[in-house]
Chain A
Amino acid sequence: MKLDRHPLLGVPYHYAPVSHTSPDSGPRSSKNHPAVGGVATALPLAGRVTGRDTQHNQMDVKMHSMHRIATWSRTALFALLPMGNALALGPPTQEEDPVPEAQPSEEAGEALFLRAGRLIIRPGEVLEGGKVLVRGGRIVAVGADLEAPVGVREINGDVICSAFLDPWSALGLSGTAATDTSTSAATRSVDSLDIYSSEHLRLDAVRAGVTTTRAQVGERSAIGGVGAVLRILPGLSTEQAIVLEESNLAAAIGLSKKGRAVGVFDRLKDIDKLVQEIEGGQKYGEDQIEYRYDLEEWQKEIAEKEEELEKDFKKAKKDREKDQKKAEDKGKDFKEKRYKEDKKPKAPRFDSDKEIMARAVDGELCLVVHANRASELRELLKATEEFDRLRLVVVGGTAALYVAEELAERHIPVIVWPAPFGTEGLDEYDGHDLSLAGRLDEAGVEVLIGSGGGANASRDLPLLAGLAIGHGLPREEAFAALTERAAQVFDVADHLGAVEVGNDAELLVLDGEPLVSTTHVQYVVTGGQLAVTPEDR
């Protein structure tokens, strides 16, 4: 594929509006894509190499990782890989890259054999007496008849299920990233990833069963930027912490600023601005497609011309030499004959924000919009109707019941915040009710539950889910909201959300049913480790 170079950084990039997920190409499996200009995307978890590797090889890996870390953020900005393959953390396939396997290898994580009274494979699918074998941070076997391999640590529990994903959080990001309001579409949450920040908050969340978050910078910013799905266990490397580097684009409309409500006209302006951005992204995407088409056409013509020249090469050469001589005799400069095909199509001006928005318009990244009041939700739905590939997700949705029918019809999920607001809540939460999740579910809307976008409440996600259940959301729906459904909405269902072979081993061992207040989390498996045991409680 023909690559262009970004005028400032000289980093190759290309634009490729692409089709969606194919089953075998999750974020981890994106390969050494030409778009990243030879920067190998396979990112071995630093230091993890298979047994046969020589010292030299290990050195290579190390260098490779360093190089990678130095370049990953800018490459990701411009390297827009097919189907959210962004900067994969994953292993190369053997054919493509000889670099040692990047997946947690056998040595990389403890092997564990978990035995459950009830294994909840996914919402609604239970295997009595289920067993799970975990190796290298992955689930390698699931079944009722599995035998524990010799020498593998065994763990028993009443209930085993997927760990929880908080789809509305900032945990994992550095301090003020969530509240930054100067963000734009190309601002990336992973660029504010801070694996050393707020360790105690992260550990508390893991102990409560929340091992991953969809962390968002600029959560209250008009355009928040690109969110990421992160593993939050302290002690993981940057690479281990990232499940999916680009999970969504975020925006917000009608939110209070500095604790004060904004007027109705400013709120409308927010919507207009967002729609303009979406339209801008769409135009940009179309221009890029047009450019690629023109470029292809041009390349084809050049090729044809070359062929023609090849045929008449001798004659052409003689003619050229003659012309050259003539020019020399006359003391003039020799001018090469120009072909009109030489006019190479000009690439549209690069715009990193529009580029991201174009991907959202194309449905490659979902667009998460924080909106609460009925008027804003209605206007948002109306204004986005024409963008049929756009995947909208509503966050907050205090008054979403008024537009529930349309949300259900258009399969727009709502991330509800079942927080126990008193009378001191912000203006946009007027009419906030704990029964919202249950009522939306009843109306056929896909419900997710989030802890509200801050860093410190992810720990309390299971409690919030409990409140939602107590106020009308069926328990199984709440469980789905925290596991499989959240993983599906944010494109990480090939890693998280179900206890399936091949998925990441993000697992909870409980002494009772999940999301029951009297149930305790006994063990937590995350990031290739047994991170919590009953002794930690």
Chain B
Amino acid sequence: MMANLSNARLRSAASAALALLALHSVSSASSADTFAIQAERVHTGGGQVLKDATVVIADGKIVSILTAGVEAPQGVDVIEHEGDLSAGLIALQDFSGAKGENHDSTRTLMPDADLSHAYHPDHSDFERLLSEGITSIVLAPARASLVGGVTAVVKTHGGRVLKRRAHLQLSLASSSLRHDRFPTSYAGALTEFDERLESEQGAFGEAQAGKLPVVIRADSKHEVQRAVAFAQEHGLKGAIAGASRSGELAASIRDAGLGVIYRPFTLGMESRSLRSVALLAEAKVPFGFGLEAPLRHPASLRLSAAACMRAGLDAKTAWRALTEDAASIAGVESSVGVVAAGKDADLVLWSAEPLDLGSSVVAVYVDGLRAFGGDQ
């Protein structure tokens, strides 16, 4: 579904065109890759909203943000958007375009499987992610995996792998333990993990050395406790994924220096889990949301934040969970998650306040290229 960029249009004032002709040499700074977007509200990050600001983009990066009243450099095309502009959303734990490639049913332990090999940038799944304003995802192993490999952060348009070795993904969730394959118990899994960490080889070795963060899947509360204790024992950094009631363990997660990746919201999800998110926020534990598309609808990402807000999460933290905190957990905060000079131009044009489910995606830019929506 292509949205119509009816409220974003090229400013084609005759004067600007004349100026461009007259001062050709001056405008040499602006190439075809240079343009600007002016929006009624620019959500830069950290809860800051600039009115009528202009974001200048060159070569796929944000060059500057001009506050209201400051004109874009001459010769730079300005797209005017009646609505909101924000950084693209980031889904932690996703399977888009990787069907059948993110899981090996015959092997339990594949620490060196590289999920970037499962990236299929032309897959139609990505179009659906873009239509919901998602510009980066963490490609993760299937949920049945015990040690599924090393995750990769990829863009939803343009085929760029943003970070190749993001985390070593482990699981201590009962759904990854099967009676017909080794190991069959929590204890068996932990013993195996311990041994591999001590061997200091491959991805486990990197994790042990603090060079590679981990993501540990743990669904129920006792699994979270077990995962936190395990991470603390080995000094591992990273995040717990799944973690439905982890807010009730917020202090110990914070003390272990870990983040949390929530599973996407589903209809009827228990209120206790939703309320638990607000507890994490209170304890200042960074968290983001998994998406698990295409098994889940990409709209589930923003829906997760909305459901948590209704259960008491403040709007500012909810927005960070969709953008900058998710970027930190994915280890890509230097490139994405906020609208700031020097960051990737991953931008979403919304019809209204992006945290409101009632707003819709008008257009999406990834690395400065329009990836979804718009007139052209």
Q: Which residues of B contact A456 (CB under 8 A)?
A: 267-268
For residue A55, CB closer than 8 A to chain B, the reply is: no
> What sequence of 0s and 1s flags, for each residue 491-535 of chain A, a beta carbon within 8 Å of any chain B beta carbon?
000000000000000000000000111101000000000000000
- C-alpha gap A469/B293 in the complex (Å): 22
For residue A186, CB closer than 8 A to chain B, the reply is: no
**Pair A424/B268 contact, Cβ less than 8 Å:** no
Pick the contact of A422 from B293, B307, B312, B315 — CB < 8 Å? Answer: B293
- C-alpha gap A213/B312 in the complex (Å): 24
Interface residue total, chain A, C-beta cutoff 8 A: 36
Q: Which residues of A contact B353 (CB under 8 A)?
A: 516, 518
> What sequence of 0s and 1s flags, for each residue 264-295 of chain B, a beta carbon within 8 Å of any chain A beta carbon?
00011001000000000000000000001111
Residue among B355, B357, B359 facing the most chain A CB atoms (10 A cut-off): B357
Interface residue total, chain B, C-beta cutoff 8 A: 27
Residue among B292, B294, B297, B359 facing the most chain A CB atoms (10 A cut-off): B297
Pick the contact of B357 from A208, A517, A520 — CB < 8 Å? Answer: A517
Pick the contact of B295 from A422, A462, A466, A478 — CB < 8 Å? Answer: A422
- C-alpha gap A463/B306 in the complex (Å): 8
**Pair B357/A422 contact, Cβ less than 8 Å:** no
Q: Which residues of A contact B356 (CB under 8 A)?
A: 466, 470, 516-518
**Pair B360/A419 contact, Cβ less than 8 Å:** no
8 A Cβ contacts from B61-82 to A? none
For residue A62, CB closer than 8 A to chain B, the reply is: no
Interface of B: prevailing SS = loop
**Pair B271/A459 contact, Cβ less than 8 Å:** yes
For residue B1, CB closer than 8 A to chain A, the reply is: yes
How far in angstroms is the closest Cβ of chain B from A518?
5
**Pair B299/A517 contact, Cβ less than 8 Å:** no
Q: Which residues of B contact A520 (CB under 8 A)?
A: 310
How far in angstroms is the closest Cβ of chain B from A423?
5
Q: Which residue of A lies closest to B357 (CB)?
A: A466
8 A Cβ contacts from A454-494 to B? 454, 456-457, 459-460, 462-464, 466-467, 469-472, 475, 478
Q: Which residues of B contact A471 (CB under 8 A)?
A: 299, 360
Residue among A208, A423, A454, A478 facing the most chain B CB atoms (10 A cut-off): A423
A452 with B267: in contact, given A420-B300, A422-B296 (CB under 8 Å)? Answer: yes
Q: Which residues of A contact B295 (CB under 8 A)?
A: 422-424
Q: Which residues of B contact A466 (CB under 8 A)?
A: 303, 306, 356-358
A517 with B309: in contact, given A420-B296, A435-B1, A467-B299 (CB under 8 Å)? Answer: yes
**Pair A204/B357 contact, Cβ less than 8 Å:** no
Q: Which residues of B contact A518 (CB under 8 A)?
A: 309, 315, 353, 355-356
For residue A288, CB closer than 8 A to chain B, the reply is: no
- C-alpha gap A255/B268 in the complex (Å): 21
**Pair B299/A434 contact, Cβ less than 8 Å:** yes
**Pair B358/A469 contact, Cβ less than 8 Å:** yes
For residue A330, CB closer than 8 A to chain B, the reply is: no
A420 with B303: in contact, given A466-B356, A518-B309 (CB under 8 Å)? Answer: yes
Q: Which residue of A lies closest to B266 (CB)?
A: A420
For residue A221, CB closer than 8 A to chain B, the reply is: no
Q: Which residues of B contact A467 (CB under 8 A)?
A: 299, 303, 357
Q: Which residues of A contact B360 (CB under 8 A)?
A: 470-472
For residue A313, CB closer than 8 A to chain B, the reply is: no
How far in angstroms is the closest Cβ of chain B from A299?
56
A200 with B306: in contact, given A422-B295, A466-B357 (CB under 8 Å)? Answer: no
A470 with B359: in contact, given A204-B271, A208-B310 (CB under 8 Å)? Answer: yes
Q: Which residues of A contact B355 (CB under 8 A)?
A: 517-518
**Pair A434/B306 contact, Cβ less than 8 Å:** no
Residue among B268, B299, B307, B310 facing the most chain A CB atoms (10 A cut-off): B310
Pick the contact of B292 from A422, A451, A475, A515 — CB < 8 Å? Answer: A422
8 A Cβ contacts from A386-425 to B? 419-424
**Pair A475/B358 contact, Cβ less than 8 Å:** yes
**Pair A516/B268 contact, Cβ less than 8 Å:** no
**Pair B267/A460 contact, Cβ less than 8 Å:** yes
Q: Which residue of B lies closest to A424 (CB)?
A: B295
**Pair B297/A420 contact, Cβ less than 8 Å:** yes
For residue A537, CB closer than 8 A to chain B, the reply is: yes
**Pair A463/B307 contact, Cβ less than 8 Å:** yes
Q: Which residue of A lies closest to B292 (CB)?
A: A422
- C-alpha gap A466/B267 in the complex (Å): 13
**Pair A454/B268 contact, Cβ less than 8 Å:** yes
How far in angstroms is the closest Cβ of chain A from B370?
20
Q: Which residues of B contact A516 (CB under 8 A)?
A: 353, 356, 358
Pick the contact of A517 from B1, B297, B300, B358 — CB < 8 Å? Answer: B358
Residue among B295, B302, B306, B355 facing the most chain A CB atoms (10 A cut-off): B306
Give me 8 A-to-B residue pairs in the complex whose CB atoms sit less than 8 angstroms apart, sorted by A's number. Answer: A420-B303, A457-B268, A460-B307, A462-B310, A467-B299, A471-B360, A516-B353, A518-B309
Contact surface of A with B, Cβ cutoff 8 Å: 200, 204, 208, 419-424, 433-435, 451-452, 454, 456-457, 459-460, 462-464, 466-467, 469-472, 475, 478, 515-518, 520, 537
Closest 10 CB pairs of A and B: A466-B357, A456-B268, A420-B297, A469-B358, A517-B306, A422-B296, A457-B267, A422-B295, A457-B268, A517-B356
Extra pairs beyond A460-B268, A518-B356 (13, CB < 8 Å): A419-B267, A422-B294, A422-B296, A435-B1, A457-B268, A460-B267, A463-B306, A463-B307, A467-B303, A478-B358, A515-B358, A517-B310, A517-B356
